[in-house]
Amino acid sequence: MNEEVFRIVELSQQGFNCSQVLLQMGLEAQGKSDPDLIRAVYGVAWGIGFTNNVCGALTGGACLLSLYAGKGSPEEEAHENIISMIRELVEWFKEDVGARYGGINCVDILGEDSASQGANCGNVVVRTYFKVVEILNANGIPLSGKPADSE
């Protein structure tokens, strides 16, 4: 198991949800800590507010892309490709996760079998994390580097 996967599992075992895990991974790669941000993304987990709608790994992945490439202050500009990066993530999620589980909502991924929930969620979070890293790298934004506005 590589270091990133181990850390994702560790954060999950600490009680963080999918969206929180993804953002925590991004912050740690930057050498930062931001409990307010982690707390804020709690609400997009388990299908946006625990409603079983759109998977929190997808919304968390979009937030992670935005952490690195979005606009964060009046003086900043978002990365020129941020919208296409998020769209790429959504399309990948539909084609990969959606096809695998029959949809992109939490209820599709988790199903009715509680025994598969942990495995399904963990798999989706790990796959989403690595897809986000791939998208960032393809756009010249290394995960371990600084966000686009700091260059």
Does residue 122 contact residue 12 with C-beta atoms inside 8 Å? yes
For residues 57 and 128, what is the distance between their CA atoms, to the nearest angstrom? 7
User: Could you say which residues of the chain have pLDDT below 50?
Assistant: 114-115, 147-151
Angle (CA) 91-96-100 rounded to 5° is 135
Would you say how long the chain is, in residues?
Answer: 151
Q: Residue 132: which residues within 8 A CB-CB, separation 6 or more?
A: 22, 61, 64, 65, 89
The per-residue pLDDT for range 108-133, each reduced to its tens digit, is 888 765 445 666 788 899 999 999 99
- Domain segments of the chain: what residues? 3-140
pLDDT score for 48: 86
pTM of the model: 0.89
Q: Rounded to 5 degrees, what are φ and ψ at 9?
A: -65, -45
pLDDT score for 35: 97
